[in-house]
Amino acid sequence: MDLIVTAAGDGWQARHGDRSWRAAVGRGGIRVEKAEGDGVSPVGRWPIRTVYYRADRIAKPASPFPTRVIAELDGWCDDPAHADYNRPVTRPFPASHEEMRRQDELYDIVVVLGHNDDPPVPGAGSAIFLHIARPDYAPTEGCAALAKDDLLAFLADAQPGTHLEFRATA
């Protein structure tokens, strides 16, 4: 059973079985066309690779997926010209990258999805994560986001083989 993310009224929702939660997606919405930096959440069904979490802020989430602590120097390369594009890296890092240990709470839980990672194709779009939503569910850079308690509930209910699927229509 997958986590299905679709439009819902004037916003977005994520459904898993008989449960549904308010969600946030990329500022470009959910679309088939995906390019580097467009803020689009890409239509498709993406496997869940790994769950990262901030052990200094939350307990280890219940999850059937590989789970690891976000370390102080963890980053994620988002430079399509670098050999480590769409891969975890250690900071300091010479190329463009995200800091995984953010000051805000958005990455207190980060679920890495298998989008453009096997192998990464430069320019086809950086990594897509499922992470904690802003309180107002403001758009992401292309990721999916849920409230922290909803994300924890999903992870606890998920099974091995669960994917996240972005659908352009319900």
**C-alpha–C-alpha distance, residues 99 and 96, integer Å:** 10
For this structure, is 131 an active site residue? yes
| Joined tokens for residue 119 | 């192998």
For this structure, is 163 an active site residue? no
List 77, 97, 131, 163, catalytic entry: 131
Cβ atoms within 10 Å of 16's Cβ, excluding its own: 18
**Pairing label, strands 67-69, 44-53:** parallel
**C-alpha–C-alpha distance, residues 1 and 106, integer Å:** 25
List, in order, residues 6 or more apart from 162 with CB less than 8 Å away: 1, 2, 3, 16, 48, 64
List 16, 82, 97, 143, catalytic entry: 143
145 sits in which H/E element: strand 144-146
Looking at the annotation, which residues are catalytic?
131, 143
